[in-house]
Structure 1
Amino acid sequence: MKTAQDVANKLLNGHSLVEGEVILDLDGYKIAVQSNSGALLDKLGIYFAHTLGTGPADCVVTAIECPATDLGLTFTDWTREPGKSGRKDAVADLEDCRLVHKVRTGMLFLQSTDHLIAAGPCLENDNQVINYINVQYINHLLQNGSLICHASGLVSNAKALAMAGFSGGGKSTLMLHILAQDGISYLTNDRLFINNGSAYGIPKLPRVNPGTMIHDKNLKSLLPPDRLRELEKLPQQQLWDIEEKYDVFIEDVYGPDKINHTGRMDAILILNWERESSAPCRIHEVDITERTELLQAIMKSPGPFYQLKDHSFFKGGMKLDEAPYLEVLKNIKIYEASGKVDFAFAKDYCLTHLLT
């Protein structure tokens, strides 16, 4: 196999697509999802309920439910970002496409200009299919001049507040604490895009750990009762480190009209606080040109699926350029939270000063 067409023929061979499709309408960019599994389409329809639209679509993603497929290709491990460990993605580049193999699940993804296919145990790994669908919108945003940021986001009075932080810093936890307030809507959880003064989110629901849920009355009930009793016996430090993800369906938990797809980019709060610190939490405005080390909390690699406008692919291990971030951020207010982790203080500060 040398081309995307060769791979597509192999992955689609013997699989008949069911009738119907799921169509996402993301600020006018439409993605159609087709599959050989009606059950998968049903799950995706529920997950993306707040984004559903009608065709025609700008691109089509095909998800094939099947056993893990070995194409006989040689894959190379994708270099993960600082702070991340373990094998996750491996890639194989052919003449006009890239194949991404999920090492832990066996899922296989074909990314090319003409073919977008997810193949493998899709129902069991529907979150990876969801991510792949979102990748197509991410590519659209990046190819049209957006800057990717590692941040969650909220919108109030059409203004967007981004919350960035180093891995495990609590940006999702803080975002969800604030979201419960009237007049605040969800923008994004982990990837936020800035373009011409506007912020854009992707339709990816928050996935949170028990350490976030157990201390939030809105989320605590999502935990199975037996699991909740086990978690309540654990010390806080151990809760912080548990990796056990739960999807938060925003409108089920917080009510209708709590999701917004865009807002005017107003401010970024960088969570540079420390779990072990005893100093009171302090939030103050900073000049990012004088504190360029904080850029590491904001900058985000586009990842192995990113296909540039010239059809080439982003290379693993490439150093991100600070210059575009400094140029965009010079017109945005930047705040830093330092000292000890204090969600109550940070929530009150955001509501009083940053989301008014």
Structure 2
Amino acid sequence: MKASQAALAETLIGDAEPLERSLVLDMGRATLAIRSNSAALLDVLGDYFAHCRSPESTADVEVLAIEREAPELGVAFLDWSREPGKTGRKDSILDVPNGRLVRKVRTGMVFLQSAARRIAAGPCLANDNQVVNFIVSQYMNHLQQSGWRICHAAALARGDRAVAIAGFSGGGKSTAMLHALEHPGSAFLTNDRLFLKREGGGVRAAGVPKQPRINPGTVLNNPRLETLIPAPRREALRALPAAELWELEEKYDVPVAAFYGPERLVAEASLAAAIILNWRRDDPGPPRIAAVDLMQRRELLPAIMKSPGPFYQHADGRFQADGEPLDEAAYLEVLAGVPVFEVSGGIDFNALVRRHLIPLLEG
């Protein structure tokens, strides 16, 4: 098979006939149109992105999702390195002229990423979260190509005032964010991908419309969310030791609009502060918070910095390279003047939210 974009696109689409209707999403700074040969898939995606559906028929970006068997392309993919702390094979890639194929090792889903074509092909309905991630990646590309810096952080807002929550792997940023949403006036900005850009003398914070994906421990410790897990499974999980429950990788999506209300979602706000969770489960003391200077505490930067990943195509057409070093200076520049706090000591989400997060949000 000739490895040109056109040939690859033809192979991925096969005999599929995309439907006339599309799903249009207004994500804040860009509008995306999603087309598919599967009405069921468009319905699933429409439910997931219900809070940002748009009646507009025009869009900045089009994504085509083809429901079919996993494509067998007869090409040699190269494994993409996992993030620190992650194990096992996840993504593999093949660069083609002006484009990139990304294959999900476990599911066989294949994605064609380029400036001209954005195609997801494979058992999309069975792996709808991978299709969601691909769609969100297009908005992430748009933001980064427009000068926004990607961060590994959750964020909350109150009015136009946002607080970012970063942390090392397993630090509990999603749990802290959901605890804070229990307080009236707080709103969800983003769960795991935060974008920052200096504008108008300050720093703007933008999120992506992806629902929080949380582990069972977070669900079981939040009465509002416990119905996300079927009752028999909840009882089995409650019987696990706390340490084992903390480490368990079993993800559940939290539809924020359904559980907290559509008014508790915002796309952007001005960044007022950032906190970095550097606390420990084995510390018996209360959480402690202290202002830090990232220029002097560069070892904390990895908690904030985030690789754009294999789907990212720079504005000049170049794709992100595997293992490409992140630009510490760029992060220090965008965060210059923003108050940054380190949270150490023992883990206590209620105390963190009540004593520190909410006061920072209220200013």
- 1:165 alignment partner in structure 2: 167
Write the deviation string for residues 277-315 of structure 1: whole angstroms up to 9, x where unpaired. 223310111111111100010000000000011111000
Write the deviation string for residues 212-245 of structure 1: whole angstroms up to 9, x where unpaired. 1000111112210001111111111111011111
Indicate which of 271, 278, 286 corresponds to 1:265.
271
Distance 1:222 1:317 in 2: 36
- 1:281 alignment partner in structure 2: 287
- 1:118 alignment partner in structure 2: 120
Q: Matched residue of 2:291: which SS?
A: strand
Write the deviation string for residues 232-281 of structure 1: whole angstroms up to 9, x where unpaired. 11111111011111110101111230100000011111000011222331
Indicate which of 305, 308, 317 corresponds to 1:302.
308
Does residue 41 (structure 1) correspond to residue 42 (structure 2)? The answer is: yes
Distance 1:234 1:301 in 2: 34
Distance 1:273 1:28 in 2: 35
Indicate which of 332, 339, 345 corresponds to 1:339.
345
Distance 2:215 2:144 in 1: 29
Indicate which of 35, 55, 58 corresponds to 2:57.
55
- 1:134 alignment partner in structure 2: 136
Distance 1:130 1:281 in 2: 35
Q: TM-score, normalised by structure 1?
A: 0.98
Distance 1:25 1:255 in 2: 18
Q: Matched residue of 1:306: which SS?
A: coil
- Whether the 8 Å CA contact 2:23–2:33 is kept in 1: the answer is yes
- 1:321 alignment partner in structure 2: 327
Q: Matched residue of 2:262: which SS?
A: coil
Amino acid at match of 1:137: Y
Q: Matched residue of 1:124: which SS?
A: helix
Deviation at 1:28, TM superposition (A): 4.0
Amino acid at match of 1:138: M
- Whether the 8 Å CA contact 1:3–1:96 is kept in 2: the answer is no
Does residue 227 (structure 1) correspond to residue 233 (structure 2)? The answer is: yes
Deviation at 1:34, TM superposition (A): 0.3
Amino acid at match of 2:278: N
Task: Note the residue ranges of structure 2 that are not aligned, 5 or more in a row.
Answer: none
- Whether the 8 Å CA contact 2:51–2:262 is kept in 1: the answer is no
Distance 1:156 1:262 in 2: 11
Deviation at 1:352, TM superposition (A): 4.4
Q: Matched residue of 1:72: which SS?
A: coil
Distance 2:183 2:155 in 1: 14
Structure 1 stretches of 4+ with a deviation exceeding 3 A read none
Distance 1:269 1:331 in 2: 14
Task: Note the residue ranges of structure 1 that are not aligned, 5 or more in a row.
Answer: none
- Whether the 8 Å CA contact 2:63–2:118 is kept in 1: the answer is yes
Matches within 5 A, 1:7-86: 7-53=8-54, 54-86=56-88
Distance 1:218 1:295 in 2: 33
Write the deviation string for residues 128-177 of structure 1: whole angstroms up to 9, x where unpaired. 00000000000000001001100001111211111001111100000001
Distance 2:351 2:119 in 1: 45
- Whether the 8 Å CA contact 1:18–1:35 is kept in 2: the answer is yes
Distance 1:183 1:109 in 2: 39
Amino acid at match of 2:30: Y
Aligned length: 356
Deviation at 1:318, TM superposition (A): 1.0
Distance 1:19 1:67 in 2: 22
